[in-house]
């Protein structure tokens, strides 16, 4: 009985550590791409949301994009820019940034530091929290 419980705990810990390492790696790759000015031009002293999407991704077009559009309407006076990148047109950029799933959304602070990455759908409220505009 205890052996099974320990095995489940060990697998959960391994999964969490793997997730943490992969997410950190993805943040570092995106930061490196930004520092090397590889394809994405950002306005100085602005917050940015960098959004990778695909024409063939129904979640990207039908869920995430409307959420981001609504969020940008809400934040239009808050110095936040949305950079939308279609992966079919930017394969090199996708690889440089370490994009693994679609949609993928990065949050970049005013100093140009990648502060958050979200793989999959993300709510507008979560992005606002990550932007730290309070």
Give the torsion sign (CA, 49, 127, 27, 58). negative
For the CA atoms of 90, 102, 120, 65, what is the dihedral angle to 10 degrees?
Answer: 70
Whether residue 114 contacts residue 106, with contact meaning beta carbons closer than 8 Å, is answered with yes
Q: How many domains does the chain have?
A: 1
**Which domain CATH number covers 17?**
3.40.30.10
Encode the chain (134 residues) as per-residue pLDDT tens digits: 789 999 999 999 998 888 778 878 887 888 887 777 666 878 888 899 999 999 999 999 999 999 999 999 999 888 899 999 999 999 999 999 989 899 999 999 988 899 999 999 999 888 888 888 75
Containing structural domain, residue 72: 2-131
């Amino acid at each position: 009985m205890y052996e099974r419980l320990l095995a489940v705990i060990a697998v959960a810990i391994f999964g969490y550590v793997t997730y943490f390492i992969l997410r950190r790696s993805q943040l570092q790759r995106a930061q490196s791409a930004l520092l090397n000015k590889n394809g994405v031009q950002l306005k100085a002293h602005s917050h940015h949301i960098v959004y990778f999407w695909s024409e063939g991704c129904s979640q990207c077009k039908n869920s995430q994009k409307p959420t981001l559009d609504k969020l940008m309407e809400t934040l239009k006076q808050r110095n936040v820019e949305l950079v939308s990148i279609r992966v079919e047109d930017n394969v090199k950029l996708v690889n440089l940034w370490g994009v693994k799933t679609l949609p993928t959304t990065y949050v970049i602070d005013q100093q140009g530091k990648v502060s958050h990455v979200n793989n999959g759908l993300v709510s507008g409220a979560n992005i606002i929290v990550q932007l730290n505009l309070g």
